Amino acid sequence: MEGVSDNKTLGMRGEEIALQFLKKLRFRVLETNYRCKCGEIDIIARDGSELVFVEVKTRRTSSYGPPQLSVTPFKQRQISKVALTWLSKNGLMEKNARFDVIGVLLRDNGPLVEHINNAFDLAY
């Protein structure tokens, strides 16, 4: 089970890097690691008046491609369902929202962060 714990630590480190990155861009973070029965969203934030649901993917190497490639159509549907649950719970169904993906590659000389604005459309 060491690999699972190691991956969790890796993910938490990537999410922290992504949070700092978004704060520098003046995003206002509303919630992190929101969970419901449909799944989880890493970061929920506001970019101006727009709600943003952010999926963070972190890797140590790019040998399997960039981290953001692991946000598959299945994962997009899962994130969409969680976002709809959050919007409904907070009475914000009429608000504009988008889905961003942040890929974090942990390199020896510091993390490489790639932010994909509006990475995918609502999928359910």
Q: For 27-45, write each residue's pLDDT tens digit.
A: 999 999 999 999 999 999 9
Q: How far is CA 45 from CA 59, 98, 101, 109, in A?
A: 23, 10, 13, 28
The burial of 59, by beta-carbon neighbours within 10 Å (0-12 exposed, 13-18 middle, 19 or more buried), is given as: buried
- Sign of the four-CA dihedral 1, 74, 93, 45: positive
pLDDT for 1 equals 41
Q: For 2-28, write each residue's pLDDT tens digit.
A: 455 677 888 899 999 999 999 999 999
pLDDT for 5 equals 63
What pTM did the predictor assign?
A: 0.91
Q: For 70-96, write each residue's pLDDT tens digit.
A: 899 999 999 999 999 999 999 999 988
Strand residue runs (E) in 71-122: 97-107, 110-120
Sheet with 39-47: strands ordered across:
28-36, 39-47, 50-59, 97-107, 110-120
pLDDT for 2 equals 46
pLDDT for 52 equals 98
| Domain around 48 | 2-120
pLDDT for 46 equals 97
Residue 58: CATH number of its domain: 3.40.1350.10
Q: How many domains does the chain have?
A: 1
What's the angle, vertex CA 9, arms to CA 84 and CA 42, rounded to 5?
15
